[in-house]
Amino acid sequence: MVTIRDVAREAGVSVATVSRVLNKSGYVQEDTKKLVLEVIQKLNYKPNEVARSLYKRESKLIGLLLPDITNPFFPELARGVEDAVQHEGYRLIVGNSDEDMEKEFRYIETFLQNHVMGIIASTIHSDRFLNLKIPVVLLDRTTDQFPSVYSNHQQGGRLAARTLLERGSREITVLRGPQHIRPAQERFLAALDVLSQSSACFYVMDTSFTFNGAKASAKEVFQKYPKTDGILACNDVVATAVLHEALRIGKRIPEDLQIIGYDDVPISELVFPPLTTIHQPAYKMGEEAVKLLLAILRKEKCMDTQIKLPVKLIERETTRKVES
């Protein structure tokens, strides 16, 4: 690997001179600068970005903090962030907090030690960012204190509930996501509003976004509410677990039971039967979060700091077809 000392030796200058050229700091004669840049190109020298950031106390690094990378929705968000970051010439440091406040705090410290220029976060403990001197953009999370990129969860909740009602479900169970996560509550309350104005019976059961929580809820829902003929799941992981359990106990999908998920993660199209779900534009959300963060860093004016993207129904085979 070529080092800065190799460049200095080849160019016949000091390491300090090469450093000044790289960091565009201090005076260097034009002919010397030209020579150093030619040697850098000739040797294909790549500066150590971490070392440069420590020296300059700035970097081309962005921090991304996720709550649970085992949930397939968040890797899709991360991919959108990563591609947009790289397109703009930056690099990404990713932290997975597992919804653990202490772990989250340690990742924030790591970001700061590496002099990230900003943070994109999908975690709920936004108060941790209040005293930071770098910009923070929330992704799939909302608060009045920070810029945010998110999807229209009220629209998604209403759309899911109406779809089940229009397709004939009359005993509907809503599997509510964690109450401390605002997007989960928004879509739940929107669905509840639609169901409350209908003649259908409906029940509410709490669950989590995790695989273990989904499996436990899938078993419990049919024990508690055996007459259920429609399930509104808080995400596709939960919907897939319910689908698996329903088939295990002999229910016909969608004749006996209709299921709607939420997120439209890639696996929802591959399960059998393929899952009807509400599509969140996860990749696009990641891209928009990067655009917003960079706009803040560049001090651009007239930017919208609360970006809400639309959702849509993806009809597959866990809901009945509407008779025309």
Q: Tens digits of per-residue pLDDT, 242-270? A: 999 999 999 999 999 999 999 999 999 99
Q: 272-307 pLDDT, tens per residue?
A: 999 999 999 999 999 999 999 999 998 888 678 899
pLDDT in tens, 118-169: 999 998 776 778 788 899 999 998 887 899 999 999 999 999 999 999 999 9
Residues of the chain above pLDDT 70, percent: 96
Query: Where does the pLDDT of residue 50 fall: very low under 50, low under 70, confident under 90, or very high at 90 and above?
Result: low
Choose which CATH entry (1.10.10.10, 3.30.420.40, 1.10.260.40, 1.10.357.10) describes domain 4-47: 1.10.260.40
Equal fold, 4-47 vs 61-150+283-309: no
pTM of the entire structure?
Answer: 0.81
Answer for the pair 97, 123: CB distance below 8 angstroms, yes or no: yes
SS3 114: coil
| Type and span of the H or E element at 113 | helix 101-113
pLDDT tens, residue by residue, 69-94: 999 999 999 999 999 999 999 999 99
185 is written with which tokens?
């509550």
pLDDT of the residue at 302: 67
Query: Of 108, 111, 118, which is closest to residue 88 (Cα–Cα)?
Result: 118
Q: What is the pLDDT of residues 7-40, one digit of tens each?
A: 899 999 998 898 888 877 778 889 999 999 998 9
Domain residues of the chain, as ranges? Answer: 4-47, 61-150+283-309, 153-280
State pLDDT tens for residues 188-232: 999 999 999 999 999 999 998 888 889 999 999 999 999 999 999
Q: Residue 2 corresponds to which amino acid?
A: V
Which H/E stretch holds residue 136? strand 136-139
Multiple choice CATH, 61-150+283-309, 3.40.50.2020, 3.30.200.20, 3.40.50.2300, 3.90.1580.10: 3.40.50.2300
- Whether omega for the bond prior to residue 72 falls within 30 degrees of 0, making it cis, is no
**Which residues, other chains included, contact 144 with Cβ-Cβ below 8 Å and sequence gap of 6+?**
none
The answer to whether residue 67 scores a pLDDT higher than 60 is yes
- DSSP label of 228: -
Question: Does CATH number 3.40.50.2300 belong to domain 153-280?
Answer: yes
Q: Read off the pLDDT of residues 90-119 as tens digits, 9 standing for 90 and up.
A: 999 999 998 888 899 999 999 998 889 999
> What is the CA angle 246-249-255, rounded to 5?
55
Percent of the chain with pLDDT over 90: 68
Average pLDDT value for residue range 227-238: 96
- List Cβ neighbours of 178 (8 Å cut-off, separation of 6 or more): 184, 208, 209
pLDDT of 324:
62
Contact residues for 215 (Cβ-Cβ < 8 A; gap 6+)? 241
Q: Is the pLDDT of residue 310 over 90?
A: yes
**Pairwise CA distance, residues 300 & 287, whole Å:** 17
d(CA 254, CA 210): 25
